Structure 1
Amino acid sequence: MGRTGYTCVRRTLCCYNLLFWVLGCGVTGVGVWLHVAYGGYSTLLPTHRVLSADGLCLTAGAVTFLVAFLGCCGAWFQSRCMLATYFVLVILIFLLEFAAGTLGFIYRRHIRESLEEELKVSIKFKYDPDGDNGLAELWDHIHTKFDCCGVDSYLNWHHIAAWPDEKRVPQSCCLEEFVNGTACATSGNSSLIHQGGCYHKLHLWIMKRLYIVGIVCMSFAFVQLFGLISAMLLLCTSAEKKKKKHHSRYIQYAAMV
């Protein structure tokens, strides 16, 4: 590769990774915002914390920030060590994305079943309308958002730990026209409340967002192919230039002798 081509690839890789560096900062910021705004979902689904949008954004943002920093600095300062590290990290990201996609496909049924079980446990044993764990507010939000009640149906709320001797539901289960009625939640009249469960709607809502995350990750993977090729070209050209430089010095030394 000529000097002009080498300089062009080096500067392009710098700009490319600078853009990814800014993007990594932005994604990290979105992750922080999601964690502050929707952190209650980690209480509802503790073993699925890694599937939450804030966790995915924080992880993706941090990794993008680090990899882009190494690629940009490696290209700008022509550091073979940084470029090699950048090259290896991008390959590892490819492998991790492939492994995550494969595991997600294999264990999607297990995730679906365990998700349903955790939702039921959160109602049966963890729900406390007067507590400060945020579950009461979160379930109210889910009921209102999806016009549903409970996991499978409103019957999931009967005889839970919060009211073991009562067949009642949270006020948020009431139909819109009865939501302000004090007797709706305790009347036992199913015609006043949403009878359908929230599980299928919530599961579909989560899956749609995970599919979007997957598509974005695959798009990033294809775009990162350019970074891989550029880093490989710079590494090979840098090694060739170093070899020629040493050879030139050797010839000069031999001529002097």
Structure 2
Amino acid sequence: MGCFGFLKAMMFCFNGIIFLAGAAILGVGVWVKVDSSSLGGLLQKLGQGGGVASQLLNVGYLLIAVGAVLLVMGFLGCCGAIRESQCMLLLFFIIVLIVFIAEVAGAVVVLAFSSVARDLIQKLGDEAVKNIKQDYGKNSEVTTLWNETMTKLKCCGFYNYTDFTDSQFVNTTQRYPTPCCKNSTCTYNNATVSDVSGCLNSLVTFIKDNSVVLGAVGLGIAVLEIAAMASSMTMYCKISSK
């Protein structure tokens, strides 16, 4: 197998994986929208029917869009390589280039407008604390969701244990939730709960601890995209020279 044949096989395999990934993401997106009666119901209860829940439900549309783009990319890459179609290879190159530019622009926007992200987190935090004070211990779905989150992240509340202060749960039971406790009593006046960090803090710490991995993944994706563009252009030029 010559260099061109090897490049052709790699293009087919690489874009076949992209095609399958796109199909999977598209399927998940369609499922999220179709099964909104169960998933959406839980999110609506969590967000009290506010804007946060609606924004979370729109993730389905995002998944559908991403899946569709990946499907088209995979199809063009596979067919362009097998059929040696200059048109398909050129379209593949243009789509990957647009995606690459969009990713770079998105990263720049996130870095430049970090205050927007802080405002969004603040709004989400307000909704979360409101949700805790009103529904924790009263609504079984909300209670289970918070308990599982706090147990897995080893945290208490959104910001800290004070999110539960004056909540319906604490006022009724005179104790904090079990995930907030470092001993078996955990009464209202038990100060040991102050040692348990909030879930936002735990999530930020997790991201910081895994920042190298996340950066490596992002860099790997960028390298793959550049390699895909270089491969498609190389094939395009070789086919043109025949």
Tell me the TM-score normalised to structure 1 length: 0.65
Q: How many residues align?
A: 224
Q: Does 1:86 align with 2:87?
A: no
The residue aligned with 1:21 is 19
Q: Does 1:151 align with 2:155?
A: no
2:7 to 6, 9, 13: 9
The residue aligned with 2:138 is 130
For 2:138, the aligned partner's letter is D
The residue aligned with 2:228 is 227
1:73 to 53, 73, 79: 79
The residue aligned with 2:109 is 103
Structure with greater helix percent: 2
Determine if contact 2:26/2:66 at 8 Å carries over to the other structure.
Answer: no
Query: 1:104: Cα distance to partner?
Result: 2.0
TM-aligned CA distance change 1:79 to 1:149, over 3 Å: same
The residue aligned with 1:246 is none
Residue 121 of structure 1 aligns to a residue in which SS? Answer: helix
Moved more, 137-146 or 203-212: 203-212
In 1, the alpha carbon distance for the partners of 2:69 and 2:181 equals 45
The residue aligned with 1:249 is none
Query: 1:94: Cα distance to partner?
Result: 0.9
For 1:131, the aligned partner's letter is N
Q: Which consecutive residues of structure 2, in runs of 5 or more, have no partner in the other structure? A: none
TM-aligned CA distance change 1:174 to 1:230, over 3 Å: closer
For 1:10, the aligned partner's letter is K
Deviations 1:80-118 (A, max 9, x none): 222121011110111011012112222334324532441
User: What percentage of aligned pairs have identical amino acids?
Assistant: 21
TM-aligned CA distance change 1:152 to 1:16, over 3 Å: closer
In 2, the alpha carbon distance for the partners of 1:224 and 1:73 equals 18
For 2:239, the aligned partner's letter is S
Q: Which consecutive residues of structure 1, in runs of 5 or more, have no partner in the other structure? A: 242-257
Query: 1:237: Cα distance to partner?
Result: 3.5
RMSD value, Cα? 4.2
TM-aligned CA distance change 1:164 to 1:18, over 3 Å: closer
Determine if contact 1:148/1:197 at 8 Å carries over to the other structure.
Answer: yes
In 2, the alpha carbon distance for the partners of 1:210 and 1:48 equals 26
TM-aligned CA distance change 1:150 to 1:5, over 3 Å: closer
Residue 188 of structure 1 aligns to a residue in which SS? Answer: coil
The residue aligned with 1:236 is 237
Determine if contact 1:124/1:157 at 8 Å carries over to the other structure.
Answer: no
TM-aligned CA distance change 1:231 to 1:7, over 3 Å: same
Tell me the TM-score normalised to structure 2 length: 0.68
For 1:224, the aligned partner's letter is E
Alignment of 1:193-212 (within 5 A): 193-198=193-198, 199-206=200-207, 212=213
TM-aligned CA distance change 1:84 to 1:21, over 3 Å: same
